[in-house]
């Protein structure tokens, strides 16, 4: 199913990879873009499937993961609106190295490799922007490895709870309510924890009077005091 091109073009123009492109370039990329509506729980692709383009999330949520030899799922990344994935496999002409599953009803765009290759030939500046995007993702993965290696499980959970607050300027005073955007099991895997360990840490933080938990809703009672546990 083809996406309405005006909506597709507008969305593409707001992606970091494309926001400096002109109208003609965006029109050509939009012409090579396909809309995918994927229901919650459906698999978008599996590890080993051929990669002939990359995806961007218009709305919804996508989980990237793989299975260990023991059959345990390891979540690599959870992606939301405005994020893209699959660029590296596309450029390497290799199959997908992970599985992708929609955690919510999602609207995705698939930008074909043929379209990107043609645009890179026309405008080498696009290559720099795509390299920058891939580099940012690599830096993020390095930070993840650092966190798994050097931070305790509790510090990883606290960092996750504070991630949105840390993007805001200035100190946050008073309680802050957050809602977990996916299941605790998926979040635990993303943080390299078992679900039981994740729940136990939430219980310990609750007993310390730092948070209160009600299902998927978590209230950070004292953000600055909680942040102190990261040091």
Domains of the chain and CATH, by start: 5-150 (2.60.120.10), 153-230 (1.10.10.10)
188: left (phi over 0), alpha (psi -120 to 50) or beta: alpha
Mean pLDDT of the chain: 87
Task: State how far the Cα of 84 lies from the Cα of 104, in Å rounded to an integer.
Answer: 16
pLDDT of residue 171: 53
Q: How far is CA 173 from the centre of its chain?
A: 28
pLDDT of residue 229: 83
Low-confidence ranges of the chain (pLDDT < 50): 1-3, 169
pLDDT of residue 167: 56
pLDDT of residue 98: 96
The percent of the chain in helix, strand and coil, each rounded to the nearest 5, is 45, 25, 35
pLDDT of residue 3: 43
Contact of 103 with 110, CB cutoff 8 Å: no
pLDDT of residue 71: 84
pLDDT of residue 112: 96
């Amino acid at each position: 199913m083809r996406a309405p091109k005006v909506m597709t073009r507008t969305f593409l123009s707001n992606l970091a990879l494309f926001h400096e492109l002109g109208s003609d370039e965006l029109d050509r990329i939009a012409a090579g873009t396909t809309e995918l509506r994927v229901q919650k729980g459906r698999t978008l692709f599996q590890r080993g499937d051929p990669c002939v383009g990359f995806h961007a999330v218009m709305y919804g949520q996508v989980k990237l993961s793989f299975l260990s030899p023991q059959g345990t799922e390891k979540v690599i990344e959870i992606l939301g609106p405005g994020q893209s994935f699959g660029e590296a496999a596309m450029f390497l002409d290799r199959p997908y190295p992970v599985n992708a599953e929609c955690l919510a009803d999602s609207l995705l765009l698939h930008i074909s490799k043929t379209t990107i290759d043609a645009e890179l030939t026309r405008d080498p500046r696009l290559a720099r922007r795509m390299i920058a995007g891939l580099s940012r993702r690599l830096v993020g993965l390095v930070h993840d490895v650092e966190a798994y290696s050097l931070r305790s499980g509790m510090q990883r959970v606290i960092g996750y709870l504070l991630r949105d607050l840390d993007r805001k300027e200035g100190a946050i005073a008073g309680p802050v309510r957050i809602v977990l955007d996916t299941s605790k099991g998926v979040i635990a895997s993303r943080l390299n924890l078992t679900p039981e360990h994740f729940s136990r840490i939430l219980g310990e933080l609750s007993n310390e009077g730092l948070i209160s938990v009600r299902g998927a809703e978590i209230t950070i009672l004292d953000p600055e005091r909680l942040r102190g546990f990261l040091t």
